Amino acid sequence: MQIYKKLVVALILMFTLIGCTALEDEIDSASDTAYMMGTAIQGKVYAPQAEELLAEGFAMIDQMEQKLSEKIADSEVDQINQAAGQEAVEVSQTTFEIIEAAKEYAELSGGKFDPTIGPVVELWGINTDQQRVPEPEELEEKLQIVDYNKIELDHEQQTVFLEEEGMSLDVGGIAKGYAADQVIQLFAERGAKGGFISMGGGVTTLGTKPDDSLWRVGIKDPRPDDGNDIVAAVELTDLTVDTSGDYERYFIEDGVRYHHILDPKADGYPAESDVMGATVVTEDPTEADVLATIIYLLGAEAGLELIEGMEDVETLIVTEDRKIYVTDGLEDEVTILEDNKYQLQE
């Protein structure tokens, strides 16, 4: 596929013009880890003043979390939720763009992905000290106010309004991809040779390593055993690999696994899917983040059909019956580990 073959032409030309030795003398490396946006974040960059650049990138993620987390009092999303059914809230361009994108992807998924799922997410409390299985009556009540069509966006005033009192946004299913995109753009603008940001189930890459080799990203086995937690690997540059599945955040009660991907079309319970893990590879980290979740929600057949109808987007899907499906454009770029327990479908 063309997006996997492309070279960073501008970078090559820059090497030619200013000379490799001078540039290499200026390049430094830095790596760091942090916990933000409800997940572990790892970053690495090869660039002039690398430590300062990476610190700036992490600060950017923190600033976005302060705007977007519904759990942070007086964040822009919290203000929107508190004003639901009462008034529109003026927000930053970042918040507006994320909510607008979330609404568009909700439409694309037929409402299976819905950023107004917040009231239902709160009931389940997954990954908190209050996680539990809600009563059906509770879920039914909250589902009455889950509807992405009731998000009003005013582009001129840059405001967001939730039409019904009690509605609440949860943009966790898209915000991490957007944040990774902004940090990688920052790296590129500052002349980084290469780098990556890993957060949640996604890894977003820029350029190459100092030896010009590509970034190699492992794709997790949804049901690892014998210490082998990787089912496949892909080498790439300037692309994102993002995986979503039922193994990321869950709890078990009375022998039943309750995971965090909730389906507003299935009575507010965790989605029942034949997919265990869905991986998306594309240039846009925001798109990769949300599409991986949408594939899980739609199921393998509908998910493959959706991705095959999109340009420059590929997927690898691991299903409950231990099969691996790969879209045509990814077949020559992904390495399926020989000792895995899944059967690659032709």
CATH code, 147: 1.10.3980.10
Name the phi and psi angles at 312, rounded to 5: 55, 35
Q: Is residue 138 part of a domain?
A: yes
pLDDT more than 90, % of the chain: 83
Distances (CA, A) of 162 to 89, 95, 222, 277: 9, 14, 36, 32
Q: Is residue 215 part of a domain?
A: no
Weakest mean pLDDT among 175-179, 211-215, 278-282, 333-337? 333-337
Residue-level pLDDT at 27: 81
Q: Is residue 150 part of a domain?
A: yes
Tokens, residue 121: 């997410």
Instruction: Tell me the pLDDT tens digit for each residue of 196-255.
Output: 999 988 999 999 999 999 999 999 999 887 667 899 999 999 999 999 998 888 899 999
Number of domains in the chain: 1
Which position has the higher pLDDT, 247 or 189?
Answer: 189
Domain coverage including residue 84: 70-172
Name the phi and psi angles at 93, rounded to 5: -60, -40
The model's confidence at residue 66, banded by pLDDT at 50, 70 and 90, is very high
Q: Is residue 7 part of a domain?
A: no
Are 181 and 57 in contact, with CB atoms under 8 Å apart?
no
∠ CA(75), CA(79), CA(84), 5° rounding?
A: 150
Instruction: Tell me the pLDDT tens digit for each residue of 259-279.
Output: 999 999 889 999 999 999 999
Q: Is residue 288 part of a domain?
A: no
- Spatial separation of the C-alpha atoms in residues 2 and 328, rounded to whole Å: 12
Q: Is residue 16 part of a domain?
A: no
Q: Tokens 């109808």, residue?
A: 309
Residue-level pLDDT at 13: 26
Question: 183 Cβ partners below 8 Å, 6+ apart?
Answer: 43, 57, 58, 60, 61, 197, 204
Q: Is residue 102 part of a domain?
A: yes
